[in-house]
Amino acid sequence: MSDFDEELTKLASAEDGKRGNSVFSNHPGMHFPWLQDRIETVVTGGKKKRDFAQTTSACLSFIQEALLKHQWQQAAEYMHSYLQTLEDSDTYKRQTAPEIIWKLGSEILFYHPKSNVETFNNFADRMKNIGVLNYLKISLQHALYLIHHGMLEDASRNLSEAETWRYGEKSSSQEVLINLVQAYKGLLQYYTWSKKKTELSEIDKDDYAYTVKTRNMLSQSCRTSANICALLKTPGVWDPFVKSYVEMLEFYGDQDGAREILTNYAYDEKFPSNPNAHIYLYEFLKREKAPRSKLISVLKILHEIVPSHPLMLEFHTLLRKSDIEEHRKLGLGVLFEVLDFAGCTKNITAWKYLAKYLKQTLMESHPAWVEEEWKSRRSWWPVFHFSFFWAKSDWKADADLACEKAFVAGILLGKGCRYFRYIVKQDGETLKKKIKRMKKFVKKYSIVNPGVCT
């Protein structure tokens, strides 16, 4: 190793001397373009790398290049040669080969014009049986391919086969994969169920067929729940499974079951943070007509994860109506935070809410709340929202939005602010009254002393 270091420094200084102006520092972005070659020669120095290894790795990069350029035919050609890595005498390489071949091969077969479902099936069936560890993964991806091609029954059959696959300890170590396979099967069953549900809604309730259908659906849902349930106990992001499972539970009136699933999905700390989990729970509670305090507590978490979420406006209305002062104060903050995001700058509802709520807050004489929110935004909101440019373009695009914004600008920056002045000067016939009222209010309540701000 020390030899290598020495050589490196020697090389570095040689390079240095040649270039003259290159500076060698510990900057992380620095790299030596020749280092890779050096390392390769050092590592294999003495013992020459087998040409077999060299050509197959070259072959791999040719495949990748062909895939990148969508040259499926060339890719297939190189794949033909790359398959020999399955016979590599290097055990490690031989064992990793099936996965690489599966990934690249399935990609080629997915896009190749001459490929069809049959070829893909053949390939998948072969690859499943090379090496034990890939069976489930390939089965699952095979099923997804079939789903993609609308062959739901085949996909389902495939998943059933995978589900029953056992291989001693190897299968127990892949429990999550088995759960996932089952869950996908459940999802397919949900799909059938959902279709039947739509059919059902078109049939008269007194019809005989109705009872038969419902009975069918019930049995379907039983199997589905069994399939999905196991997966939902494993930490992870399982949105589509959760959603469909809950829908079925709710349909059959198992509200407690659904609530438990959703609560667990949202609050279990082992699960990764997932905004959708809270959204699902919130929507469920809303359907259930849960008390406001409960809804607020759910959205509070969502607010922490995604402050710009559309549901935040709903959150604001909930907070505004709350009896607790703390909540009402938060209600103001929520609006400010929504408007911090570039994607929300043209959200008229948000601006309307803010204008209205600012008015209410100030009339209820809580200017301190406004000051507190404004403190951190004073430096950038004027340019971000209230520039002269925005005044012109907002007025042109949406006069209502411009009015709401002007009001907020007036309150926060005073009547001298350019945005406010520009809008006020416009003579929209319909808005005349509104502007007049606005001017009056701003004069009275603006948190800024006139003349201080531009």
Partner 1 sequence: MTSTSMKKSFTERCSQCAAVSWGLTDEGKYYCTSCHNVTDRSEEVVSTAVIPNTKINSISRGLRKRRKHEKGWDWYVCEGFQCILYHQAEALKTLGVGADLKSEVLHNLWKRYLQKSKQAYCKNPVRTRGRKVKVLEDNLQSSDWASEFELLSDTSCPLESGAEFQSDPQIPKPFPLTKASPKSEAADICSGSVDGVEYSERKEKGVLKMTVPRTLALCYLSLLWQRETMTLSDLLRFVEEDRIPYVNAFQLFPEEMKVYGRDKGIFAIESWPDYEDIYKNMIEVAIFLDLPRFPDITEDCYLHPNILCMKYLLELNLPDEMHSLTCQVVKMTGIGEVDFLTFDPIAKKKRTVKYDVQAVAVIVVVLKLLFLLDDKLEWSYSSLAEAYNEEHREDEPQFDFRKWYQVMKKTFDEKRQKREEARAKYSWKTKRPIYRSHIDKSVAYKRREMVENLQKQFSALVGSTPVAQEKGPSSFQFNWTDGDTGSPCFHGHSLQGLLKKKGQSLITKNSLYWLSTQKFCKSYCKHVTTYEESNFSLSYQFILSIFSFLLRIKTSVLHEEVSLIEKKLFEKKYNESKKRSRPKKVRRH
Residue closer to partner 1, measured from CB, 71 or 274: 71
The answer to whether 351 and 404 are in contact (CB under 8 A) is: yes
Residue closer to partner 1, measured from CB, 109 or 408: 109
For residues 262, 268, 269, 271, the Cα torsion angle rounded to the nearest 10 degrees is -60
Residue from 8, 12, 42, 86 in contact with partner 1 (CB under 8 A): 86
Among positions 228-287, residues that touch partner 1 (CB under 8 A) are: none
CB of 76 to partner 1, least distance (A): 4
Among positions 5-44, residues that touch partner 1 (CB under 8 A) are: 18
CB-based contacts of 384: which residues, under 8 Å, 6+ apart? Answer: 345
Count the residues in the chain. 454
Composition of the chain by helix, strand, coil, percent to 5:
75, 0, 25
Integer-rounded Cα Rg, in Å, for the chain is 32
Residue closer to partner 1, measured from CB, 62 or 419: 62
The answer to whether 82 and 57 are in contact (CB under 8 A) is: no
Residue with tokens 């259908």: 213
| DSSP summary character for residue 348 | H
Does 83 contact partner 1 by CB under 8 A?
Answer: yes
Does 382 contact partner 1 by CB under 8 A?
Answer: no
Does 141 contact partner 1 by CB under 8 A?
Answer: no
Residue closer to partner 1, measured from CB, 5 or 87: 87
Applying CB under 8 A, which part among 50-58, 153-161, 232-240, 359-367 lies near partner 1?
A: 50-58
Does 72 contact partner 1 by CB under 8 A?
Answer: yes
Applying CB under 8 A, which part among 107-115, 291-299, 313-321, 402-410 lies near partner 1?
A: 107-115
Among positions 356-375, residues that touch partner 1 (CB under 8 A) are: none
Residue from 8, 12, 76, 399 in contact with partner 1 (CB under 8 A): 76
CB of 113 to partner 1, least distance (A): 9
What is the rounded CA–CA span in Å between residue 454 and residue 452? Answer: 7
Does 62 contact partner 1 by CB under 8 A?
Answer: yes
Does 51 contact partner 1 by CB under 8 A?
Answer: yes
CB burial string 54-71: b at 16+ within 10 A, e below: eebeebbebbeebbeeeb
Does 425 contact partner 1 by CB under 8 A?
Answer: no
DSSP assignment of 105-151 equals HHHHHHH-TT--HHHHHHHHHHHHTSSGGGHHHHHHHHHHHHHHTT-
CB of 196 to partner 1, least distance (A): 39
CB of 18 to partner 1, least distance (A): 7
Does 138 contact partner 1 by CB under 8 A?
Answer: no
Does 122 contact partner 1 by CB under 8 A?
Answer: yes
Does 123 contact partner 1 by CB under 8 A?
Answer: yes
| Burial of 368 (C-beta count, 10 Å sphere; 0-12/13-18/19+) | exposed
Does 91 contact partner 1 by CB under 8 A?
Answer: no
Does 399 contact partner 1 by CB under 8 A?
Answer: no
What is the rounded CA–CA span in Å between residue 381 and residue 378? Answer: 6
What is the rounded CA–CA span in Å between residue 76 and residue 86? Answer: 16
Binding site for partner 1 (CB under 8 A): 18, 48, 50-53, 55-56, 58-59, 62, 72-73, 76-81, 83-84, 86-87, 89, 101, 105, 108-109, 112, 114-115, 119, 122-123, 126, 130
